[in-house]
Amino acid sequence: MLRVTVWNENLHEKEMPEVAKIYPQGIHGAVAQAVGALDGVVTRTATMDMPEHGLTQEVLDQTDVLFWWAHCGHGQVSDEVAERVAQNVLNGMGLVVLHSAHKSKPFLKLVGTSGSLKWREIGEKERIWTVDPSHPIAQGLDEHFELPHEEMYGEPFGIPQPDELVFLSWFAGGEVFRSGCCFRRGMGRIFYFRPGHETFPTYYDPNVIRVLQNAARWAAPLKRVDGFPCPQVEPLEQV
Ligand code: ZN
């Protein structure tokens, strides 16, 4: 079984009725339902208000892939938990970073850059192009698909060059954005996926659901370790 934990700061859902109406079980609930619909996947959710944000080492030990949605609460995430998540990714746990989590502590720790971008919230059309059709995360998707209303994110996006670029977005207002980016850090695989603004029903879109499911499978650890020792060793041959 692939064990997926979906983490959400869960703030907009409590403070904005229009968001609670779209996501009555929270964004984490919708993402967990989408990924959990896949055979062989078990999901759990965790939110910021839980002790240790619901991400104790015990939970992470039982997590193959962690999904992370956050927006206005990045600064409320404890440094200790952010560091724990980053270390577990280096040790092999998969991480799927959603939408406004481009500024989340674990993601920035792992990529080491600003995560900055341009944005505009007028509900314009987004066309998402599959630029690497042979990539595992693109399987089952057409050459492009559209979301009728989304927030715009525009380049330049403050990330290192992705190890693999799977999706590129175009917006009705004219901007483009690297929407599906793969990174490898240590033993871990990280996928950043752009769509998912809280006031639009993006996580119910069948193409988006397919991406989330493919990403869960792709990010699953092939090998997991417990830290990276730096041992002094004896030669294998007589020297
Ligand atoms: Zn947003």
**215-232 residue pLDDT tens:** 999 999 999 999 999 999
Ligand 1: distance of its center to the CA of 220 in Å?
A: 26
Ligand 1: distance of its center to the CA of 66 in Å?
A: 20
Give 6-15 pLDDT, tens digit per residue.
999 999 999 9
Q: Output the six-digit token pair for 68.
A: 């992370």
Ligand 1: distance of its center to the CA of 236 in Å?
A: 55
* Residue (of 142, 133, 136) closest to 207 by Cα position: 142
Strand-strand pairing, 188-193 and 176-185: antiparallel
Give 93-149 pLDDT, tens digit per residue.
999 999 999 999 999 999 999 999 999 999 999 999 999 999 999 999 999 999 999
Strand-strand pairing, 176-185 and 164-171: antiparallel
Identify the pLDDT of residue 218.
Answer: 98
Q: How confident is the model at residue 20 (pLDDT cuts 50, 70, 90)?
A: very high
Q: Output the six-digit token pair for 213.
A: 């499911």
Ligand 1: distance of its center to the CA of 121 in Å?
A: 8
Gap between the Cα atoms of 55 and 200, Å rounded: 27
Average pLDDT estimate for 18-45: 98
Average pLDDT estimate for 48-62: 98
Identify the pLDDT of residue 84.
Answer: 98
Q: Output the six-digit token pair for 18.
A: 């229009």
Secondary structure of residue 124 in the 3-state scheme: strand
For residue 55, give the H/E element and its range.
Answer: none
Q: Output the six-digit token pair for 157.
A: 């996006």
Burial of 237 (C-beta count, 10 Å sphere; 0-12/13-18/19+): exposed
Identify the pLDDT of residue 209.
Answer: 98
* Residue (of 107, 100, 75) closest to 197 by Cα position: 100
Ligand 1: distance of its center to the CA of 49 in Å?
A: 21
For residue 158, give the H/E element and its range.
Answer: none
Q: What values do phi and psi take at 198, rounded to 5?
A: -65, -20
Identify the pLDDT of residue 171.
Answer: 98
Average pLDDT estimate for 143-165: 98
Percent of the chain whose pLDDT exceeds 90: 100
Question: What is the rounded radius of gyration, in angstroms, for the C-alpha atoms of the chain?
Answer: 18
Place of tokens 């674990």: 106
Q: Output the six-digit token pair for 166.
A: 């799977």
Ligand 1: distance of its center to the CA of 150 in Å?
A: 8
Identify the pLDDT of residue 52.
Answer: 98
